[in-house]
Chains A and B, each alone.
Chain A
Amino acid sequence: MTDVLVVAELLEGKPKKATLVAVSFARQAAEGTSGAFDILVIGEGAGGAAGELTGFGARKVSTAEIAGGYVAEKYAATVAKVAKDGGYGVVAATATSNGRELVARVAGKLEAGYAGDIIGVEVKGGSLAYRRSMYAGNVRGTLTLSTPVHCVTLRQSEFDAAEPSGGSSPVEEVAVVQDEVASKIEFVSQEVVKSERPELTDADVVVAGGRALKSADNFINVLEPLVDALGAAMGASRAACDAGYVANDLQVGQTGKVVAPNLYIAVGISGAIQHLAGMKGSKTIVAINKDKEAPIAQVADYFLVADLFDVVPKLTEEVAKLKG
């Protein structure tokens, strides 16, 4: 029997969707070992946010109110204390930038083994084992941890967001533990780009552009209409991000986001191995490229050999017609 502690992630006082993905993992993990799961909401606005997480079947929702912006050093000691006091076998969060570093730091406090960015969970000989992807998506392996506590982060694209299950978990406040190291780091500010589009990591459709788009303006004028006609999230290759055509956080690949939508349209992306690592789990892959020998062909289901500037506006029109 393994009890799981989910660490919720907040953005401006609200739980991020990533949290529900971790809840879905926790349900699977707890059910697989006949255990239970709880949620710890930590950060500024934790008390207010807890109410949004009481309908998902957690045994309880704990809150730790910590003012100011997120830094792992302010949170880790409290997470570790709650984990220890509650006798949890697993501490889990979604592998967002913050989730990864926080849970790994907590692992440091708990002397726990760490399974990062997992793509699946299974029960092996009564205990949990974690499926991981490695080598830029070219190898998978199952990691069995031998420490009493496991610290786990999970890849958002590989788990569905939990649906409400009814009921109402009790909410309790826990004491915040001060950590001396927190005085050595200061949160200054945060800039988060707000977008009406779906999040890259859980969109049904992703349209991604490469360096062949040639400019930021072309992303706006040529690619974005297609993105919006499809109700898609927009992604980009590392080259396009590095060239400054789009924001860094749209990067798909080993150094960016890993996505697995139903439909991935790669526009003017040649398909470096690091890019393929971020999207080859997509159900249907379309490539639009002038070069039919481009490596993206290795993973593409459909390939339109053409100059993107000739065909993308037309594709946008056809999609709009179909959807209209």
Chain B
Amino acid sequence: MKILVPCKRVSDPDNANKVKVQGDAVVAEGLEWKPNPFDDWAVEAALRLTENAAKNERVGEVVVLSIGPADAAQQIRQFLAMGAERGVLIAGDDAQLDSWVVARAMKAVVDKEQPDLVVMGKQSADAESGAVGPILAELLGWPMATQVQTIATEDGGKTFTIGREIDGGLIRLKVSAPAVVTVSDRIVRPDAVKNGVTPADHSYPESDSGRYASLKGIMQAKKKPIEQLQLSDLGVEPTLTGSYTDFAKPPERTGQTTFVESVEELVQKLHTEAKVI
């Protein structure tokens, strides 16, 4: 099975409150670039689908794709160190990208690579749009499953049984490959991914992120290939469908925190001061 995992680098999502705005630009100076955490989960899901975890053996191929400046190769390397086989980096500047440009570029790579599955995060932690997966699926004429929390296959990857999160519950789907899958954080739960190769009773460790790279993995990643491409190589015009203005920080919460001493004081304040109960 061959899986393409598109990944984005984002400014450190654990310090998103330190992002600044200047008119029509968002400035993340001083913040480290990190792989989008949603994509970290996607890489983990893709690795689980293409391995025999009991024997620590790879049985498929994971290709990591990113669109960004040259140093976005660092984030691709991190995923190669986790176990992905190779990378593709399309040169691009965030300001010249939107969901449409990205989806078109990905489609061109999919046409070339012919993966069985595209697995990606359900959204980026910065723009939070979540549109690329569905637009890509539509451009490819492929079925899609978004916000996926469980995925299982028993026929080598021709069909997938999928659980996707919906408001208030879960929808179960049966999807034929090739398909686009966007994952939620729950895809890294111990029993979220079953591929019919890893023994069914194998359970991954509890974690809220993808696997850590081993030292060996980090060494190997240095030798793994990352193909460099330009949008023009793929015949994609960087035509934006929209633009942002008036960036601003959300209104600060006014007032100080009042530390109350007792339940009685809390209830009294909520009743008479805040007037919310």
List the interface of chain A (C-beta within 8 A of B). 18, 69-73, 76, 96-98, 100-102, 104-105, 107-109, 112-117, 129, 132-147, 180-182, 184-193, 195, 201, 205, 230, 238-239, 242, 247-249, 254-255, 262-263, 273-274, 276-277, 280-281, 283-287, 292, 297, 299-305, 311, 314-315, 318-319, 322-323
Tell yes or no: B74 within 8 A of A by CB. no
Q: Which 7 A-B pairs have the closest CB atoms?
A: A108-B138, A113-B241, A104-B134, A185-B143, A192-B169, A188-B172, A145-B242
Closest to B264 in A: A318
Q: How far is the CA of A18 from the CA of B99 in the complex (A)?
A: 25
List the interface of chain B (C-beta within 8 A of A). 11, 13-17, 19, 21, 26, 38, 98-100, 103, 125-131, 133-139, 141-147, 149, 161, 164-176, 179, 184-186, 189, 208, 240-250, 253, 255, 257-260, 262-264, 266-267, 269-271, 274, 276-277
Q: A180 — which chain B residues lie within 8 A by C-beta?
A: 141
**Residue of A184, A239, A299, A323 with most chain B CB atoms under a 10 A cut-off:** A184
Q: Could you list some 12 contacts between A and B, CB below 8 A?
A: A71-B143, A107-B138, A134-B26, A140-B250, A146-B240, A191-B169, A193-B168, A238-B185, A249-B165, A287-B257, A302-B257, A304-B262
The answer on a CB contact under 8 Å between A302 and B169 is no
Closest to B11 in A: A135
Q: B262 — which chain A residues lie within 8 A by C-beta?
A: 304
The answer on a CB contact under 8 Å between A184 and B179 is yes
User: How close is A23's CB to chain B, nearest CB, in angstroms?
Assistant: 18
Q: A147 — which chain B residues lie within 8 A by C-beta?
A: 241-242
The answer on a CB contact under 8 Å between B257 and A300 is yes
The answer on a CB contact under 8 Å between A186 and B135 is no
Q: A69 — which chain B residues lie within 8 A by C-beta?
A: 171
Q: B14 — which chain A residues lie within 8 A by C-beta?
A: 273
Contact among B16, B103, B259 with A303 in the assembled complex (CB-CB below 8 Å): B259
User: How close is A6's CB to chain B, nearest CB, in angstroms?
Assistant: 17
Decide if the interface of chain B is mainly helix, strand, loop or mixed: mixed
Q: How far is the CA of A134 from the CA of B138 in the complex (A)?
A: 25
**Residue of A70, A139, A143, A187 with most chain B CB atoms under a 10 A cut-off:** A139
The answer on a CB contact under 8 Å between A184 and B176 is yes
Q: How far is the CA of A180 from the CA of B214 in the complex (A)?
A: 44
Q: A300 — which chain B residues lie within 8 A by C-beta?
A: 257
Q: How far is the CA of A287 from the CA of B257 in the complex (A)?
A: 10
Q: How far is the CA of A220 from the CA of B141 in the complex (A)?
A: 46
User: How close is A183's CB to chain B, nearest CB, in angstroms?
Assistant: 8
Q: How far is the CA of A292 from the CA of B262 in the complex (A)?
A: 14
Q: B145 — which chain A residues lie within 8 A by C-beta?
A: 185
Q: How far is the CA of A98 from the CA of B247 in the complex (A)?
A: 28
The answer on a CB contact under 8 Å between B173 and A71 is yes
Q: A116-B128, A146-B240, A190-B166 are in contact. List 15 more A-B contacts (CB 8 A).
A: A97-B146, A104-B130, A113-B242, A114-B131, A135-B26, A136-B16, A139-B247, A140-B249, A140-B250, A187-B173, A201-B167, A277-B16, A284-B274, A311-B263, A322-B277
User: How close is B192's CB to chain A, nearest CB, in angstroms?
Assistant: 11
Q: B26 — which chain A residues lie within 8 A by C-beta?
A: 134-135, 139, 141
User: How close is A261's CB to chain B, nearest CB, in angstroms?
Assistant: 9
Contact among B141, B174, B269 with A185 in the assembled complex (CB-CB below 8 Å): B174
**Assuming A135-B19, A300-B257, is B174 touching A186 (CB within 8 A)?**
yes
Closest to A310 in B: B263
Contact among A71, A135, A145, A249 with B16 in the assembled complex (CB-CB below 8 Å): A135
The answer on a CB contact under 8 Å between A190 and B172 is yes
The answer on a CB contact under 8 Å between B260 and A263 is no
The answer on a CB contact under 8 Å between B173 and A186 is yes
The answer on a CB contact under 8 Å between B270 and A284 is yes
Contact among B133, B146, B245, B264 with A142 in the assembled complex (CB-CB below 8 Å): B245
Q: How far is the CA of A318 from the CA of B263 in the complex (A)?
A: 8
Q: B144 — which chain A residues lie within 8 A by C-beta?
A: 72-73, 101, 105, 185
The answer on a CB contact under 8 Å between A138 and B242 is no
Contact among B99, B130, B260 with A100 in the assembled complex (CB-CB below 8 Å): B130
Q: A71 — which chain B residues lie within 8 A by C-beta?
A: 143, 173
Q: How far is the CA of A138 from the CA of B267 in the complex (A)?
A: 30
The answer on a CB contact under 8 Å between A108 and B135 is yes
Q: B133 — which chain A residues lie within 8 A by C-beta?
A: 101, 104
Q: A112 — which chain B residues lie within 8 A by C-beta?
A: 241
